[in-house]
Each structure stands twice: as C-alpha cells, then as structure tokens.
Structure 1
Amino acid sequence: MPRRFFQRYLPHPDTLKRKRSLRFVSHLIGNPSLWVLSRRSVANAFMIGLFSALLPIPFQMVVAAFGAWLLRCNLPLSVGLVWITNPLTMPLIFYGNYRIGAWLLNTPVREAPTQLSTHWIAEKMIDILPALVMGSLTTAIVAGLVGNLIIRLIWRWHVSRSWRRRRLKRRHAQRSPADDY
C-alpha cells in the first residue's frame, strides 16, 4: 500500500518532539491527526505543499504547516514538499511563474539580464511583481489541485490492484488438488 511507502521515509513524531528547535511547537507535532496516512490526508498534504512551494514568499514551511493544521492533513508531507523550491530550483520556477503571469496579464516579458543581481531585481520589482504574483498564484492553485487529484488516483489504483491480487490468491487457495487433474 502507499501508506508503507510514505511511512518508510517520514520521521516519527517523537523524534521531532525531542528536537530542541521544535519544542515550542511540540503540542502541534504531537497531534495524531497531523500524522495520519490516508488517501485524503496525503492528497491534501500534497495540495498544500505544492501550493506553498510555488508562492514567492518567505517562510513557505510555516504556511504549509498552518495549512496542514487547518485541513488536518499530513504535516511532514506538506512541509517537506515545500523544498521543491530550493535555492537551486527557485530562480527557474519563479521565472516560469513570472512568464505565465505576464502571459495571463498580457504584458511584455522583461528579459533577465545576463548578470542577474539584487539591484536589478529591486529596480524592476514594481514592473515584475504583478505578473509574478498572478503567475505564482495560478501555478500554485493548478499544481495543488492536480497534485491532489493525481495522489487520489494513484492511491485508488494501488488499493484496487491490491484487492485484485488478494482475490486471485484466495481463488488459487480455494482450488482443490482434484481440480488440477
């Protein structure tokens, strides 16, 4: 089952509660409803994690944790998925979001300079921000909903395949040895 796959990679709540840096949220980490691995909780965790990852804001992990708490879905999955936008992928993802936003707003796309600097970004932020926000919100919503749907479909397919295999095993076990002759 998919549950075993996720359990293999997720940390145990007790190990996180013992971490000194997380003691101030230990009452939230210890909440059992935030550690459930069901089709609904995993799919919603993917939705929240992908949504939070594609927003160009600081503290994306806090947003994902708050979303997991609100929807009572799997906390470590939603927080872990935020790392899709890590320091290596963030410029590409946000530039893609900006281009999508510029296309949606029908504004000309500003080409990135050959030497990208914080000075250039600060100077052009007023021009870039509306398209970046629109593109980021659009891709975040679409990615979150598609991720939720895909996880639900994969989970359902996996469970139905497991049921089919069990049914076949029962049929083979019920066959008597006289049926072989």
Structure 2
Amino acid sequence: MFGRLLHDPNLWHLNRHSLAGGLGVGLFMAFMPMPFQMIPAAALAILFRVNMPIALAGVWVSNPLTMAPMLYFQYRVGLLIMGKGTRGGSFEPTLEWYWTELVNIWQPLLLGSVLCGLSASLAGYGLIHLLWRLNIRRHLRRRKEKRAARLAGRQSR
C-alpha cells in the first residue's frame, strides 16, 4: 500500500533524531481522542521520516487502563484554558446520554487533547535527546578512562 515509502531507513533504524521523532509522534497521537491511533501515528512517522516502531509503541501510553484518566485530565485542561467550569449532571449509561454530553464536552476535550499531546510530544522528544547526549558523554568518559589506564600501564613497565 505504501510502496517505496516504507523503505526509508529512518523508519526502521535507531538514531537520535529518528528515535526522538518517533517517540514524539507516538506520544502526540496517544493523547488524541480517536480510535485506531496507530494508523495516523504510522502515517505521521512516514511523513516525518521517524522511527515507526517507536511511534507505534508510543501510542500505547493510552491503553484501556489509562484512557479514562487521560481523557478526564485532558477535558479538565481544556476547561481550564477555556475558562469554563465543569458541568453538573447525572450519568446515564445510554447512547443518547453519551451523544448529548459529547456535544457539550468536545471543545474542551479537543483543546486539552492537543495541548497535552503537544506537551507530551515535546517532553518525550527532549528527553530522548537528553538521554542520548548523556549516554554519549558517559561512553566518551569511559573510553578516555580506559585510554588513560592503558597509558599508565605502559609507563609503569
């Protein structure tokens, strides 16, 4: 279906930019209140040429256990940004109740979802870059220490 687009090495290799971008895409899509989040995550990974498996794994931050608290938090963030109070009312487990409430909550939910998704995406992207740099520094420091130990061993002979 995607043909040559799936042959881009950045979609499958782990490097700093591909990994950070893949996590950013996955976390952003994890906060979108929609079904089948993995499909747009894969499309965005192809579009931005970032690691697709990481993008797909990042989507699973929202799973059946975390989805309800995430949606409620996103709704509350949207209400806060819009300056609205929470709605009172009773819960009725009927399809009509869900559709009626969706009409009332979609704007703050969507705003909160986008803001939380952007925040999580940027945080994940930055965290990967930070961890990658720290790992490189640690690797270079160890290499330098090994080199110094070899030189000290040669000089003591």
- TM more than 0.5: yes
1:133 to 71, 86, 110: 110
The C-alpha deviation readout for 1:78-110, integer Å capped at 9, x for no partner, is 011111111121111011000000000011113
Distance 2:80 2:93 in 1: 22
1:139-178 aligned at under 5 Å gives the runs 139-176=116-153
- Deviation of 1:29 after TM superposition, in Å, equals 4.7
Unaligned runs of 5+ in 1: 1-23
The letter of the residue matching 1:74 is N
Which residue of the partner structure matches residue 82 of structure 2?
105
Change (3 A) 1:139 1:176: same
- Aligned CA RMSD, in angstroms, stands at 2.1
By relative contact order (CA 8 Å, sep 6+), the higher-ranking structure is: 2
Unaligned runs of 5+ in 2: none
- Provide the TM-score with structure 2 as the length reference: 0.89
Distance 2:19 2:89 in 1: 37
Number of residues paired by the alignment?
157
Distance 1:102 1:123 in 2: 18
Which residue of the partner structure matches residue 77 of structure 1?
54
- Deviation of 1:116 after TM superposition, in Å, equals 5.6
Distance 1:105 1:50 in 2: 23
SS of residue matched to 1:37: coil
Distance 1:169 1:117 in 2: 68
The C-alpha deviation readout for 1:30-76, integer Å capped at 9, x for no partner, is 54331110111110011100000000012210111011101111100
The C-alpha deviation readout for 1:130-174, integer Å capped at 9, x for no partner, is 000000000001110111011100110011111101110110011
SS of residue matched to 2:63: coil
SS of residue matched to 2:86: coil
Distance 1:159 1:43 in 2: 15
User: Percent identity between the aligned chains?
Assistant: 34
- Provide the TM-score with structure 1 as the length reference: 0.78
Which residue of the partner structure matches residue 37 of structure 2?
60
Change (3 A) 1:51 1:112: farther
